Amino acid sequence: MEITVVATGEKKSVTIRPLEDEDFKLLLRKRYFFSWRTLKGKADLYKLYVSEDEDILGVMALFDVPTEKRIEIKLLASSKENVGRQKEHEGIAGCLIAYACREALKKYSDRACVSLVPKTELRANYLTKYGMMDAGWQLFLEGKPLVNIILKYLS
């Protein structure tokens, strides 16, 4: 899976792995907008990093909802330098969403669903950029749109 350097168009290989204890000292609120340690043990936490230098560029918290065959993205954040119009890299959120979709597909097969509750200002972006569907206060991916995200970002 790859992200793109906005300034040059260069592609960089990235990896997504579970957060490790030593990662929490790097996940400062000023860079990731949240105290990620508060979710330790309450959610499955993942980091996205550039494969060759291991700088964490994105973080995601997932909750599994087995009764609904759904994985909820409870929290997703790109690092401060990768947010907004002046961001350094493109594709961080897409790769993290696609990873959640792949995990849901592995676990729940053709019944898989991934959902999130978006911040108001990001709602339209999730609908248009990632093809999410509106379910009221939550947005979700299932079926073909879920598979399309995996193919776009993880292939």
Q: Considering the domain 2-154, what is its CATH architecture?
A: 3-Layer(aba) Sandwich (3.40)
Element (H, E) at 29: helix 29-32
Expressed in angstroms, the distance from the first to the final Cα of the chain is 6
C-alpha span between 48 and 93 (Å, rounded):
9
Helix locations, 57-129, DSSP H: 92-108, 123-129
pLDDT values of the chain reduced to their tens digit, one per residue, 155 residues: 999 999 999 999 999 999 999 999 989 888 988 889 999 999 999 999 998 787 899 999 999 999 999 999 999 999 999 998 899 999 999 999 999 999 999 999 999 999 999 987 889 999 999 999 999 999 999 999 999 999 999 97
pTM of the full predicted structure? Answer: 0.95
Instruction: Label the pairing between strands 44-50 and 56-65.
Output: antiparallel
The predicted structure's pLDDT at residue 38: 92
Q: How far is CA 14 from CA 5, 35, 57, 116, 129, in A?
A: 12, 23, 9, 23, 20
